[in-house]
């Protein structure tokens, strides 16, 4: 899906997403990525659709401390992780939203446009 082209100075903006990757600031990424308002686009190397605890521990440790919300795009369908993973984030007082990747990309762009400190983790 192609999004409306936007330019927000100095920010990573998702321009499109499909089953083969995500385009951020004109560059296509064909692998799972993590990025945010204060976080460069980084390959999410231990990412998998199995939603393991280790991948979320890495994600938490990577995100900037001023992150207001962590958005996790879980692929073509919204998938909720296990109770252990949800508990992990709750104990860290880290707000997390799980949504399908298309919704995650749209939500990320909206929050960035509002000037919020947000991190997106997109599973490809």
Task: Give me the CATH number covering residue 60.
Answer: 3.40.1230.10
Domain span including residue 45: 31-122
Q: Which helix (H) or strand (E) holds 106?
A: helix 101-113
pLDDT (0 to 100) of residue 6: 53
Please count the structural domains in the chain.
1
- pLDDT per residue, tens digit, the chain (124 aa), is 555 545 566 789 999 999 899 999 999 999 999 999 999 999 998 888 788 888 999 999 999 999 999 999 999 999 999 999 999 999 999 999 999 999 999 999 999 999 999 999 999 9
Structural domain contains residue 17: no
Is residue 103 left, alpha or beta, with left meaning phi > 0 and alpha meaning psi from -120 to 50? alpha
Residue 43 bridge partners (DSSP): 33
Structural domain contains residue 56: yes
Structural domain contains residue 95: yes
Structural domain contains residue 47: yes
Structural domain contains residue 86: yes
- Which residue, 115, 116, 113, is CA-closest to 70? 116
Give the integer Cα–Cα distance in Å for 9 and 25.
11
pLDDT (0 to 100) of residue 49: 78
Structural domain contains residue 45: yes
Structural domain contains residue 5: no
Structural domain contains residue 116: yes
pLDDT (0 to 100) of residue 12: 92
Give the integer Cα–Cα distance in Å for 84 and 88.
6
């Amino acid at each position: 899906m192609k999004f409306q082209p936007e330019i927000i100075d100095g920010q990573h903006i998702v321009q499109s997403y499909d089953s083969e990757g995500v385009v951020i600031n004109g560059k296509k990424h064909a692998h799972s990525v993590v990025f945010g308002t204060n976080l460069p686009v980084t390959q999410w190397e231990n990412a998998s659709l199995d939603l393991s605890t280790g991948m979320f521990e890495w994600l938490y440790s990577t995100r900037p401390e001023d992150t207001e919300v962590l958005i996790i795009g879980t692929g073509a369908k919204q998938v909720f992780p296990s109770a252990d993973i949800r508990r992990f984030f709750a104990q860290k007082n880290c707000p997390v939203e799980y949504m399908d990747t298309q919704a995650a990309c749209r939500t990320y762009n909206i929050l960035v446009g509002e000037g919020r400190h947000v991190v997106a983790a997109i599973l490809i």
